[in-house]
Amino acid sequence: MTKPVPFASRSLALAALVLLLGACAHTGPRNPLATWVPSKNFDERRPVVIVLHYTEQGSVEQSLDTLRSRNSGGRVSSHYLVGKDGKVYQLVSDTKRAWHAGAGSWGAITDVNNASIGIEIDNDGKSPYPDAQVESLIVLLRDLTTRLRIPPAQIIGHSDLAPTRKIDPGPLFPWKRLHEAGFGLWPAADAGEPPAGFDPWLALQAIGYAIDNRGDTVRAFHHRFRGIEGVELDAEDLRILYALTHPAPAANPPPATP
């Protein structure tokens, strides 16, 4: 005959199960593409945009320490960190709100942390991004945009949402290569010249930029779409802005063969 389990033992087992389930709910689903190195610096949120950063630190290990602890600049975190060798680390669940964007906006989004996935990229801000790192980032973006149903065009840089404060991922980041893989905005080469009266500031706002400080916004735009410095718009900028806001119509398909 099986002996009944004492009530106290059953209560302890139930309490342990509740704690275990609570811990699982706290961490949320994990991405099998990444090594899980959890950070406690997060809240809840729903992502509709992906923000790319560079770490500007000496090593992946140093960045992991910063993103997982309290430091002199306050607590910061990101959902992912991509190393130079292409290894991907996940620090915060996709379903949680990491603290990576800070003050800024993108279009109508004013609480970017609440609406985004943050990806830190191991880069000092002065060096090109290695092929292995970029390819790994593309694989990660493909997974995130598919699984979380984030529009592939909604991949932005930290400097895009906070042009007065940030310059990452910097003018060396390969935005065109990302676009060729299907992510982010890039101007069509055959969009034509902007018409007379074309307003570049309205175009910048339509893309998502805030224009409160126009010089900083132009610098962020230059970094992303031309890989150059400068705070003044020129004719090439107007052509790019027109192409971004007036995409060329798709070519007509050939007539069907009778």
Could you tell me which residues come within 8 angstroms of residue 4 by beta carbon, excluding any fewer than 6 positions away? Answer: none
Q: Token match 């932005």: residue?
A: 156
- The answer to whether 206 touches 156, Cβ cutoff 8 Å, is no
Catalytic annotation on 120?
yes
Residue 238, helix vs strand vs coil: helix
Could you tell me which residues come within 8 angstroms of residue 62 by beta carbon, excluding any fewer than 6 positions away? Answer: 55
Continuous segment of H or E residues that includes residue 8: helix 7-27
State the DSSP code for 249.
P
Strand order in the sheet with 49-54: 35-36, 88-90, 80-82, 116-121, 49-54, 155-157
Question: Among the options 44, 56, 61, 120, which is catalytic?
Answer: 120
Residue 159 bridge partners (DSSP): none
Structure tokens at 187: 């101007």
Residue 120, helix vs strand vs coil: strand
Catalytically annotated residues: 120
